[in-house]
Structure 1
Amino acid sequence: MTLLIRHRSNSFLTFLREPYSLSRLISITQFRNFTSDNQTPDAKDPNFVKEICRITRTMPRWENTLLSQYPYFHFSDPSFFLLYLNHQNNALLSLRFFHWLCSTCGFSPDQSSCNALFKILVDAGACKAAKSLLDYPGFTPENDSLECYISCLSSSGMVEDALMVFVELKKVGFCASVATWNEALLGCLKAGRTDLVWTLYEHMMESGVVANIDVQTVGYLIKAFCAENNVSKGYELLREVLDNGLCPDNSVFNVLIGGFCKERQYARVSELLHTMIERKCKPDIFTYQEIINGLMKRKNPEGLRVFKDLKDRGYFPDRVVYTTMIKGLFKMGRFGEARKLWFEMIQKGILPNEYTYNVMIHGHCQIGDLVQARKLYKEMCGRGYKETAVSYSIMISGLCLCGKTSEALRLFEEMPQKGIVRDLVTYNCLIKGLCENAELVEAKKLFNELLAQGLEPSVFSFNPLIERHCKVGDTQEAIRLWKDMHDRHLKPISSTNDHIIVGLCEEGNSAQAMEWLLNMLSWKLKPLERTFERLIHSLLLEDKLDEILVVLDLMIRTGYRLDESLTHSLVSKFSKENFHFADLCLEKVLERN
């Protein structure tokens, strides 16, 4: 008897310990309440609907058991599904229940069921799930739901799908509100799809919305022009809007200011600032940030005056502005002022982040102050900022600048041990440093390792190697690397070709150097002045007077002038050769010079 009681007790405990056993017990109890006397539960009973919602929300594999729990209930009743949607607060669970009904219970969704679920999914931001409903035959969402769907797609970056919905709405003669068009335009801008901005605008015009276009729409069009580096067009549109009595918000002015700073059209920047003040659009911290960033990137000391003016006007520069200023001052060689701003920032309670530290570390490496650079690096790590490929690349570059390539290589080898992936930038920094320190063999080894790692080399992987090969007299290997770069569809920077021309001249191969120069000009690349001069010296040594006249003509057409010593050398050479026709040509060239 005791054994029997113990056995029953253990069985009961085992039952309770099983996963979800208590939930099963409750479900069984409620199941008996709903199915007593073999009666079918009422589809409109709120308690029953809530119970089904609870089961689908808490039971992990309810699809396998729900029909057996309620064998007499007709789950295919459309009115029950609508009640379920009203009580279930989870959009994706509702979609899961919908698919189960269709696949297991013979549920044929009607328009109202699909539309209700579609609206719930769109409101929840589940636009991909909502899109799957559009595949159901015969289902066409209501126009209001489609407008919300466009907004959902736009905010999720699915801008091509949003455009297709506009097209479908246009077919049925429905025109979305301006607010919906604006959300789609904003989505295209965020996704970097300015091409779709103009496509949408065309549809707006065709739909007759243009007459109701608001200042926000125009703002997005101006931003699209600026994103395409067509700032002048954006400016023209702004003037048109202002003439019509409308005024965009600060973000539009800021984008234009940033674009004109990039193009160094500072008169336009000043004009825009005055326009903002006239129109009661007070320039904000982001306005000044655009101006300072544009000036400092181009090493324009006017940026420091704007920064001081910013503080004088009562604005409080943030970490981004301070970092921009420090980076720009280091680039201009104004190291003392950069350090002063660093301490000023900290004194004001603005703590530097990883990027600010990296700017300071790189700046100190530039001036050869490795002691301070290492100190800042250690301080950065001590503040909890993780060592990254960026921070390692900066230290490696700095060590190479100071000629400490062995230490740079040790850091490079240390990266995998700390779980830091060596990216293309890291390889490029070290390749450049090794080439600049005449360690070509090690640099080539690193380049081959880069390829073996499956990384795609960039122009900055090739250029240091090409330059070093030209300097050591192996220009043909430099040309082979140039061709390899070209075959990879990489566009060489202008100086790469300059190095090859100078290298060929050093080897006494002026004919091939002349050919490279002509190619450069045909590719719309401007050779350096010293490249022309070096080629002229090489041609002088080989007494190629006709070729000299051609190069001279090209040099002056490019906008360069001959220096006095080279002019004397040429006049002397032509006089000695008694080359009268060439003398006449030289005289004309020198007149233009």
Structure 2
Amino acid sequence: MLQRILFTNPRLYPRNHLQFNLPFTISSLSSLFPGKNLVQTDNIDAQIVSLCRKDRSFAAAASLFNNAFTSGTTPSPKTCNFLVNELREAGKHELAFSVYNKMTHVGIKPLFYSLAALLEYLVKSPEPSYALGVVGLIWKSGFEVNVYLMNLVLKGLCQNGEIDKAMEVLQEMANNSVKPDVISYNTVTNALSKAKRVFEALHLMDRMKKAGCFPDLKSYTNVLDGLCKLGKMEDAMVLMEEMKENSFDVDVVAYSALIKGFCNKGNADKVEELFHEMLERGVTPNVITYSCVLQFLSTMGRWEEVSKMVKDMTGKGIHPDATVYSGIIDGLCKNQKTAKAVSMLKLMQDKGEEPPVATYNSVVNALCKSGLISESFDILKMMMDKGKKPDLLTYTTLVKGLLETGKVDDAIMIFNSVFEDEAYIQPDVIAYNTMIIGLCKEGYLIEAETFYQKMNEAGIHGDEVTYSTLIGGYLKEGNVLQCLEIWKNMIRDKILPTSYTYGILIDGFCKLRMVNIAKGLFLKLKNFGFSPQVMDYTTLMTTLCKEGSIDEAKMLFQNMKEMKNCEPNIVSFAVMINGALKSGDFEYGMSILTDMFQRGLVPDKILFSTLIQRFSDAGLMDEAKQLFERMVSKGFKPDCFDYQNLLMGYCLKGDMNEVLSLLHRMADEKLVLNSELRATILTCLCHCNELNMVDLLPTFSQDGLKEDDEIPCNDFLENLQKLHSEIPKLGS
């Protein structure tokens, strides 16, 4: 509410005028003064004053005013202006505007505070820029414009999203003699920060300082909050240091903004540092600060610290609210701490904080993901017992959980019983898609098609996910005709396929070994302006390699490497390396293996073992050994399969020194041998020219070792030495 003192006698103000480009002309406002003269009545004046000042019956006063006009009696100009101001101060802006409109329509000249009331009404209207016309009218009427009125205009423009216009007005103020104050600048910097134009806000702060108007605490916190929300934490910390240098006490609002920003960045050290700093500086965290830190700690799984902080919070008289508890529960759910999440949910209720539906949904979702479907229904019952109505997401989550645990019949029953009751919850396309995706994964294509038909009957149009899922399901079953029928329906319903749908088609036809169709779809995908995904390339390259079309696969791989935003991943390289080695193109295989390592891609254990096998089978033992050592250096432990491939490779090359070296290494590592590796070791020893080892094989089998027995390498070799003294000791 505007204070009377702000509308003092205009003679107290220096005659400094503002001029603006007005959104409507001053003459259009002045046309409200046609000059109709009505009879004035002192009795009406007295009644209006009494209703406003004694009874505070503003609506009655406005009604009396309107009745007077209707009856041909008009209050005095003084009373009219008085009523406008009283209504404005009471916050009755619509009534104030109505009185203003009628009084000016009969030629009563508005005083300064009546014009101010008009301005205040307009800045809160859908078109606050019209208030600039009132600024011009105030000036034309011989009154002065003060900074308070201009701040109202700035606020109205900013709240309406007209920030650029507000900046123009601010510049005009600076150019004229109505000097902007700290509120003027703060209004605009705050709007810029909220609009994510935070660096413009920083620039405006610099202009503010140069104009001799120094930022206050609110100036800094507005921009600091904007920087933090954009994740510009280095800039935010610089601004905080500037605050300290200017002797501002960083308050809980600023600390909370910084802490939340670093939480979003996952910077635990900085969160902890700032939290302790604010405590050391005597700044008490509020519920927002605690909520942010607790949710962050929960997400990181630091439960002891969460428990300690909750106790600290309550010890300071700050009781966790629903937001705090919900944040902790959400963190527990994301860390698969479902039992603790359920316990926290119950504690929340015991403390009198009723969880929102979203919190119940988080717990239900976590339980479903853990396969705890029965417990999910317990939460559903708890929710309903508390008078909370499960929403669409609740039931969709339950249905998804049932499908993912193979409980298809239960999922269908829940869907039909809940969603077919029109008075309860209406399913949306996501709910139907959840059902269709789950059914297709489980191979229930007929049921999936049934839900697709139900969806259409309910007037819910399927989206790309709906059609793509059904297409993928039918291709997986080898039903190409039905797949094409769904494709036709998709085009009929004007659902344009994107790379997502094409990817499913390419994958499906590749798995059906219909590679020509897959290649055609791949080209069509590119011709339609879509960028093939890594999976599209990899799927097609895999099929080409399996068919022996290694040259086509090479061309595709080269094209993939040249594409932007489609870098080959470890699987892409594995497919091509394996395909090249299998086809005997070892030079190409080695070149892309080198390329893979240069890109910083590290194979997994399976790929390392496969490559070691390929190089060993090809007799490229130096390369196989290098891969073996690289695998060990990456923390992968060699198994019987790896040693078996190396032993056979060296054995075939006749390199018995390497064979014995590997046996020594296996013994040192206490490797447990399976039957296949024992047979390989015996085969290698039989190939040793210095020993006649052929007779060892039947003697060994008579030693009581069955085919599937496992035995440590060292024990196996010692048994051989006991049976046949001519075998040298390992390492001799």
TM-score (norm 2): 0.60
Match for 2:288 among 194, 212, 216? 216
For 1:537 and 1:177, locate their aligned partners in 2 and report how far apart those are by CA, in whole Å. 67
Code of the residue aligned with 2:149 in structure 1: it is: S
Q: Match of 1:13? A: none
Alignment of 1:94-493 (within 5 A): 94-96=128-130, 98=132, 110-122=146-158, 129-138=165-174, 172-176=214-218, 185=225, 193-195=230-232, 199=236, 203=240, 206=244, 207-208=248-249, 209-210=251-252, 211-220=283-292, 231=300, 239-240=308-309, 242-244=311-313, 245=315, 246-259=318-331, 261-264=333-336, 285-294=357-366, 296-297=368-369, 300-301=370-371, 303-311=372-380, 313-315=382-384, 317-343=390-416, 345-346=418-419, 349-486=424-561, 487-493=563-569
Structure 1 residues 198, 270: CA separation in 2 closer, same or farther (over 3 Å shift)?
Answer: farther
**How does the TM-score come out when normalised to structure 1?**
0.72
Alpha-carbon distance in structure 2 between the residues aligned to 1:517 and 1:162: 51
Measure the CA separation in 2 of the matches of 1:101 and 1:243: 54
**SS state at 1:387 partner:** coil
- CA drift at 1:371: 1.9
- 2: CA distance between counterparts of 1:495 and 1:322? 37
Bigger fraction of residues in helix: 1
Secondary structure class of the residue paired with 1:324: helix
Deviation at 1:372, TM superposition (A): 1.5
1:410 and 1:272 map into 2 onto residues whose CA distance is 50
Q: Secondary structure at the match of 1:540?
A: helix
Asked if 2 retains the 8 angstrom alpha-carbon contact of 1:216 and 1:248, the reply is no
Partner amino acid for 2:217? C
Q: 1:519 to 1:326 in 2, by over 3 A?
A: farther
**CA deviation vs aligned residue, 1:170-199 (integer Å, no higher than 9, x gap):** 972522399x86x985x888x7x3446982
Greater C-alpha radius of gyration? 2
Tell me, in whole angstroms, the C-alpha distance in 1 between the residues paired with 2:666 and 2:486. 55
Structure 1 residues 313 and 426: CA distance shift in structure 2, 3 A: same
Which residue type is aligned with residue 125 of structure 2?
A: A
Aligned to 1:500: 576
- Percentage of matched positions with identical amino acids: 22
The residue identity in structure 1 corresponding to 2:362 is E
Distance 1:235 1:173 in 2: 41
Letter in 2 for 1:113: L
Q: Distance in 1 between matches of 2:379 and 2:345?
A: 13
Distance 1:34 1:458 in 2: 79
Would the alpha carbon gap of residues 52 and 276 (structure 1) be closer, same or farther in structure 2, given more than 3 Å must change? closer
1:313 alignment partner, SS class: helix
Cα separation, partners in 2 of 1:97 and 1:198, compared to 1, 3 Å? closer
Q: Which amino acid aligns with 2:152?
A: A
1:527 is the counterpart of 2:600: no
Instruction: For 2:512, give the aligned amino acid.
Output: N
CA distance in 2 between partners of 1:89 and 1:475 (Å):
71
- Looking at structure 2, the residues matched to 162 and 239 of structure 1 have their Cα atoms a distance apart, in angstroms, of 39
CA distance in 2, matches of 1:530, 1:175: 59
Letter in 2 for 1:320: L
Q: Name stretches of at least 5 consecutive residues in structure 1 with no aligned partner.
A: 1-26, 36-41, 58-68
* Map of 2:14 onto structure 1: none
**Matched ranges for 1:561-572 at <5 A:** 564=640, 567-568=643-644, 570-572=646-648
Identify the range of structure 1 (539-548 vs 314-323) with the bigger mean alpha-carbon deviation: 314-323
CA–CA separation in structure 2 for the residues paired with 1:254 and 1:572 = 60
In terms of mean alpha carbon deviation, does 348-357 or 164-173 score higher? Answer: 164-173
The answer to whether the 8 A contact 2:429-2:462 is kept is: no
**In structure 1, how many angstroms separate the alpha carbons of the residues matched to 2:37 and 2:499?**
67
* Structure 1 contact 459–490 (Cα < 8 Å) conserved: yes
Report the Cα distance in structure 1 between the residues aligned to 2:441 and 2:534, rounded to whole angstroms: 23
Which consecutive unaligned segments of at least 5 residues does structure 2 have? 1-29, 39-76, 86-93, 253-282, 672-732
Deviation track 1:386-441 (CA, whole Å, cap 9, x = no partner) reads 23223222222222222234443454355444333333322322232232222333
1:84 maps to which of 118, 130, 143: 118
Distance 1:390 1:521, change over 3 A: same
Q: Using the alignment, how far apart are the partners of 1:519 and 1:268 within structure 2?
A: 47
- How many residues in Structure 1 have an aligned counterpart in Structure 2? 539
